[in-house]
Chains A and B, each alone.
Chain A
Amino acid sequence: MYVAVKGGEKAIDAAHDWLGEVRRGDPDIAELSLAQIREQMTLAVDRVMSEGSLFDPDLAALAIKQSRGDLIEAIFLIRAYRTTLPRFGASHPVETDTMQCQRRISATFKDVPGGQILGPTFDYTHRLLDFKLAAEGNAPDTSTQDAPDLAAERKPHVMEFLNKDGLIESAEATDETPPDLTREPLELPANRALRLQNLTRADEGFLLGLAYSTQRGYARNHAFVGELRIGKVAVEMDIPELGFSIEIGEMTVTECETVNQFKGSKTEPPQFTRGYGLVFGQCERKAISMALVDRALRWKELGEDFAGAPAQDEEFVLSHSDNIQATGFLEHIKLPHYVDFQSELELIRSIRTAATAALAETKIAAE
């Protein structure tokens, strides 16, 4: 006698309960507070905000806690929340040259007006486990933090100096409303604004791999970091009822502009070209990767050859960059597929039966 398996509902409830327990871990250990995550796991919070497309450190901290530190799961929580939010309007473009920089470096010039600021970086740390951190309660010496006078003054973009001499392509500002892939289905070919929106939401690892591939020769574009800056920018918005714009808040962003070689084309003399990356929070690796991939995707408008490299392939890059789409589809193969598998089973059996019979016939004929 056979009784069909049931109990999906019970199994789901039990799994959720178990998840809650495991998330909490050993109850004898103090529970993580959202403030602790927000203040001490800042780069995780920044990544979740950047790929979740929502600037809210508190919600990002909550998502990280809820997801047991699985950042893609946390990004998913933020995206699903974000999509339900009503839209009040659109802000003005943020002015990154008035950024209060906590970090600003240029690899192309030894010194730049406004000065270079190393800021809170891992760059020159020796990657040795610091066992002092294992002992709790060591408050760092805070006297070394940014001098406030560095913060407010306008710091012109390094690229502007090259632009004055016509050595780099000019990037004209336009008033055109950029498309929004969260409101309209992605349509190909995409313009640069749409590509950049896709890239800034893209998975950091995916972009890193693509950017790295361009450095290793798959559509190499000889990038230098013209400027990398991280800091706070003001967000302004027009309020129709008031008739003027007001600052509604500020946010930390990372901006990377690369200077890339360009050999010239039939219509353009040789000059430098640009790649651009802009992401929420302090996400340096992502911003640089984004700039390299942006540059690689621009081959057509710059009159370059398509080298067949993955990073040049707009449809390939834009269709596979979103980690929420990717992880969902990847993991869906965990779902039951027994109906499809059954139909494949029958097919294989039927083909094999036919093949075996045919083989037997050939043998008989041969004998």
Chain B
Amino acid sequence: MSDYNFAYLDEQTKRMIRRAILKGLAIPGYQVPFASREMPMPYGWGTGGVQVTAACLTPDDTLKVIDQGADDTTNAVSIRRFFEKTAAVGVTQATSVATVIQTRHRIPEEPLNEDQILVYQVPIPEPLRFLEPRETETRKMHALEEYGLMHVKLFEDISQHGQIATAYAYPVKVEGRYVMDPSPIPRFDNPKMEMSAIQLFGAGREQRIYAIPPYTQVVSLDFDDYPFEASKADGACALCGADHTYLDEVIVDDDGGRMFVCSDTDYCESRRQAGHIGEQGTPYGKDAA
């Protein structure tokens, strides 16, 4: 890959992305159009996140890549390798060691600090898209701060189901102005978005970049009588015993028996290292694998 520039993208492309990131930070939650490039991985597989990461990385960075909270999922591996090859940056699985974290569908459990950047891969950046498919219309709605359609949708959920039937990609309002799609993170993660780190969002196919500066107000949309709830499975991690983390359900036998494990694999491992053992876990280091 030595024929390619540092972090793959040419300098002019990086400048274009960097300018978009700065405007994104200056207008939190607003989707800045950018001329997304074809990347050597498919659209929909993180090209937006990859372009944002490529524009942010310095040779001194330590990169972590997660998909569904896990470092070892195939697409996370593929993206991590891409940057190892093209930017020769250090990589890690430890959240606390990483300076740049690219993520798909999760926010790490461990609170991020001021020296970190969280880059989200975003499939559909427009929170109003499934209510109004036309970009020309949704752009007007954002301009006029006309979000009635979204409230109607949430209200219809409540009247039909008794609760808001959005489990992930739960819309938020940023700094009291723009309604924003937080990417398909479970709504359990929404409250974490008011954090110390810089959050950047890249949607390659849809050609949008947006951002949330640290300590920015991020409010999940709700109603006074039906307040937002950051839900998760009712249970504890079978490996580390955590009952405060987002849990994945794993089917363990042919009879449909199931158990829960932490979706954040690094967090789970750190807990086990610290001596926490769940119902079906073993002391750290004694895994059969």
Q: Do chains A and B touch in the complex (CB under 8 A)?
A: yes
Q: Which residues of A contact B (CB under 8 A)?
A: 1-4, 6-9, 11-12, 76, 79-80, 82-84, 86, 182-189, 315, 319, 324-325, 327-332, 335-340, 342-347, 350-351, 354-355, 358
A328 touches B44 (CB 8 A): yes
A2-B239, A329-B205 as given contacts; A340 in contact with B74, CB under 8 Å:
no
Determine the chain A residues whose CB is within 8 A of the CB of B34 once the complex forms. 185
B145 within 8 A of A: no
Of the four ranges (under 10, 10 to 19, 20 to 34, 35 or more), the interface on chain B belongs to 35 or more
Please state if A328 and B250 are interface contacts (CB–CB under 8 Å): no
Instruction: Decide if A354 touches B162 in the complex (CB within 8 Å).
Output: yes
State A111–B77 Cα separation when bound (angstroms).
Answer: 62
Central interface residue in A79, A187, A327, A338, by most chain B CB within 10 Å: A338
Q: Known contacts A9-B77, A325-B205, A339-B168: does B10 contact A84 (CB below 8 Å)?
A: yes
Nearest CB of B to A64, in Å: 17
Surface stretch bound by A, among B181-189, B193-201, B217-225: B181-189
The chain B residue with its CB closest to the CB of A340 is: B168
Measured in the bound complex, the distance between the Cα atoms of B34 and A358 in whole Å is: 49
Binding site for A on B (CB under 8 A): 4, 8, 10, 33-40, 42-45, 47, 67-69, 72-78, 104-106, 123, 134-136, 161-163, 165, 167-169, 184-188, 205, 207, 231-233, 238-239, 246-250, 252, 259, 261, 263, 265, 268, 280-282, 287-289
Task: Tell me, rounded to whole Å, the shortest Cβ–Cβ distance linking B201 to chain A.
Answer: 15
CB distance from B103 to the nearest CB of A (A): 11
CA distance A346 to B260 in the complex (A): 12
Our pick among A185, A315, A347 for the contact of B167 (Cβ within 8 Å) is: A347
29 contacts between A and B (CB under 8 A): A1-B282, A4-B239, A8-B74, A9-B77, A12-B77, A12-B78, A83-B39, A86-B10, A182-B35, A185-B35, A315-B134, A315-B135, A315-B136, A324-B38, A324-B42, A324-B43, A329-B43, A329-B44, A330-B44, A332-B123, A335-B45, A338-B68, A338-B248, A338-B263, A342-B248, A343-B186, A343-B187, A351-B165, A355-B161
B76 & A331 in contact (Cβ 8 Å cutoff):
no
Nearest-neighbour CB distance to chain A for B255, whole angstroms, equals 16
Q: Which residues of B contact A1 (CB under 8 A)?
A: 280-282, 288
For residue B47, which residues in chain A have a CB less than 8 angstroms away from its CB?
328
Known: A2-B252, A338-B68. A343 touches B188 (CB 8 A): yes
CA distance A8 to B261 in the complex (A): 18
Residue in A2, A76, A187, A358 whose beta carbon sits within 8 Å of that of B250 in the complex: A2
With a CB–CB cut-off of 8 A, which chain B residues contact A3? 287-289
Q: Quick check: B105 and A339 within 8 Å, CB to CB?
A: yes
Q: Would you call A345 and B249 a contact (CB within 8 A)?
A: yes
How far apart are the CA atoms of A325 and B47 in the complex, in Å? 11
Q: How far is the CA of A347 from the CA of B230 in the complex (A)?
A: 11
Q: Once the chains are docked, how many angstroms separate the CA of A335 from the CA of B77?
A: 12
B267 vs chain A, min Cβ distance (A): 13
Chain A residues, CB < 8 A from B39: 80, 83
Q: Which residues of B contact A6 (CB under 8 A)?
A: 72, 289
List the A residue with the shortest CB-CB distance to B72: A8
Chain A residue nearest to B167 (CB atoms) is A343
Q: Are A8 and B77 in touch, CB under 8 angstroms?
A: yes
How far in angstroms is the closest Cβ of chain A from B3? 8
Give the Cβ gap from B62 to chain A, nearest Cβ, in Å: 18
Report chain A residues within 8 Å CB of B43.
324-325, 327-329, 332
- Kindly state the separation between the CA atoms of A331 and B73 in the bound complex, as whole angstroms: 16
**Could you tell me the distance between the alpha carbons of A182 and B68 in the complex, rounded to whole angstroms?**
31
Complex interface: chain B residues within 8 A of A187 (CB): 33
Contact call B265/A4, Cβ cutoff below 8 A: yes
Smallest CB separation, A66 vs chain B (Å): 12
Residue of chain A at shortest CB distance from B260: A342
Residues in A whose Cβ lies below 8 Å from that of B185: 339
